[in-house]
Amino acid sequence: MFCDCDVIHGEVVEHVRTKMPQDEDIYDLSDFFKVMGDSTRLKIISALDAHEMCVCDIAVLLNMTKSAISHQLRYLKQADLVKFRKEGKTVFYSLKDEHVKDIFEKGMEHIKEK
């Protein structure tokens, strides 16, 4: 469906223009969703939404190698979506903050509305 009129609603266009994010912010958000757009990374986020975990535990849970999990966690750390803490030789990962938790949970809520 398309608009078949020639009238430009200038006041609406200008109002919306003032509300639009800067291009750089849009690019950053696009990159954020690219990171979130990987099913393996979303499985890791889902696991960390339930509890902090070490690489070994995540690997067992997802039936993947520790190397593969570490690789994905590196992406998630670079995107500032997960954090870690060391306890002896063990490194535990968790979601960075409530924003990450909220985004994941709201996304799940949305797709389950069907």
| pLDDT by 10s per residue, the chain, length 114 | 666 778 888 999 999 999 999 999 999 999 999 999 999 999 999 999 999 999 999 999 999 999 999 999 999 999 999 999 999 999 999 999 999 999 999 999 999 997
DSSP state of 31: H
In sequence order, the β-bridge partners of residue 84 are 93
Give per-residue burial for 54-79: e unless 16+ CB within 10 Å, then b. bbebbbeebebeeeebeebbebbeeb
Inside any domain, residue 19: yes
Residue numbers of the domain that contains 86: 10-111
Place of tokens 């409530």: 98
Neighbours of 112 (CB within 10 A): 7
Inside any domain, residue 93: yes
Global pTM reads 0.86
- Cα pseudo-dihedral 23, 29, 30, 32, rounded to 10: 150
Inside any domain, residue 5: no
